[in-house]
Amino acid sequence: MSEHILTEREGAVMIVRMNRPEKKNALTRAMYKTMAEVLTRADQDASVRSVLITGGHDCFTSGNDVADFLQAPPNGLNSEVFMFMQALFDFTKPVVAAVCGPAVGIGTTLLLHCDLVYASRDATLKMPFVSLGLCPEYGSSMILPQLVGQAKATELLLLGSAFSGEQAAAWGIANQALHDGAATTAKAFDMAQRFGSLPPTALADSKRLMRAPNREQLRKVIVEEGELFSQRLHSPEAREAMTAFMQRRKPDFSNL
Ligand code: COA
């Protein structure tokens, strides 16, 4: 179990909190593994009716730990990050996310697999995959163009343009933008709690039906993206981009 993932039961809601504030909740391999295990257990536990994913009032997550990417890049489909992706993708109960502050990389793409998303108005979402020498992940290359249109998806995925919680709500990535972190977390928890009073099998069946179209195609895309992403992590482009981040300088791709 990672000390940076806190879990708490509030009635029928399982709250999963990323808690590594000194690194903006950057996700390590141990954190992914713990989240995967927590989700798997929550799915099997009949007393859990929904899950709330949060990073607290100030930061959702800065995405994958860049130092981990450099020192121990994920090994494709056997990696902890893939275990987490699969556990969330296959989760049968409703998942609600409360997004406050930065939500970078997988901090944004995981939202595409949640059932309800609440964001603070000034949350900063970003998918800087290309500028890191990487490629889209977790089905985002398929889901985003469908959700926001090809033109907007190009800005978000190829240019890696940042966007606010308010824009996320306007574009259908989030359900609603709220005025601050506390209001966002309270709203997300309230919505997660509402699922507790509904008949669980009807809920699970309905979630499955809503996600059924394109599901197998999406599963293939996630695998294809994951394989390419793992390859790209070893590329000179990615190593320069990530080393530059760690050294707090601008990357230099001029010789690549
Ligand atoms: N991996 C590893 N460390 C990270 C990190 C990450 N993804 N994100 C932040 N950190 C660390 C910083 O290195 C810094 O560590 P230090 O205090 O030991 O120097 C600390 O967290 C605080 O980050 P900082 O950049 O100073 O905070 P900020 O408020 O100015 O900016 C972010 C916050 C999230 C916008 C910025 O940290 C960022 O862009 N992070 C990288 C995101 C990223 O590229 N993720 C990978 C996506 S695939």
For the chain, the average pLDDT equals 97
Residue from 32, 62, 65, 249 whose mutation best tests the ligand 1 pocket (most atoms within 8 A of CB): 62
Judged on CB neighbours under 10 Å (0-12, 13-18, 19+), 57 is: middle
Q: What's residue 183's pLDDT? A: 98
Taking alpha carbons only, the member of 178, 159, 68 closest to residue 119 is 178
Q: What's residue 177's pLDDT? A: 98
Cα 49 to middle of ligand 1, angstroms: 33
0.95 exceeded by the pTM?
A: yes
With a cut of 70, list the residues of the chain below it in pLDDT.
none
Locate 186 and state its tokens.
Answer: 């309270």
Locate 170 and state its tokens.
Answer: 């306007």
Residue 150 to residue 167: CA distance in whole angstroms = 16
The CATH H-level (homologous superfamily) assignment of domain 5-180 is: 2-enoyl-CoA Hydratase; Chain A, domain 1 (3.90.226.10)
- The closest residue, in CA terms, to atom 45 on ligand 1 is 63
- Concatenated DSSP letters of 38-76: HHHHHHH-TT--EEEEE--SS-SB--B-HHHHHHS---G
How many Cβ atoms are within 10 Å of 98's Cβ, its own excluded? 30
Domain boundaries, the chain: 5-180
Q: What's residue 75's pLDDT? A: 82
How many Cβ atoms are within 10 Å of 172's Cβ, its own excluded? 10
Q: What's residue 156's pLDDT? A: 98
Q: What's residue 76's pLDDT? A: 80
Cα 62 to middle of ligand 1, angstroms: 6
Q: What's residue 33's pLDDT? A: 97
**By the 8 A CB rule, do 93 and 200 touch?**
yes
**By the 8 A CB rule, do 158 and 214 touch?**
no
Q: How far, in whole angstroms, is CA 55 from its chain's centroid? A: 11
DSSP annotation of 245? H
- Concatenated DSSP letters of 158-197: TS---EEHHHHHHTTSSSEEESSHHHHHHHHHHHHHHGGG
- The closest residue, in CA terms, to atom 4 on ligand 1 is 23
Residue 186 to residue 178: CA distance in whole angstroms = 10
Cα 24 to middle of ligand 1, angstroms: 6
- The closest residue, in CA terms, to atom 48 on ligand 1 is 105
Q: What's residue 28's pLDDT? A: 97
**By the 8 A CB rule, do 192 and 11 touch?**
no
Q: What's residue 4's pLDDT? A: 98
**By the 8 A CB rule, do 54 and 95 touch?**
no
Q: What's residue 78's pLDDT? A: 87
Residue 140 to residue 113: CA distance in whole angstroms = 10
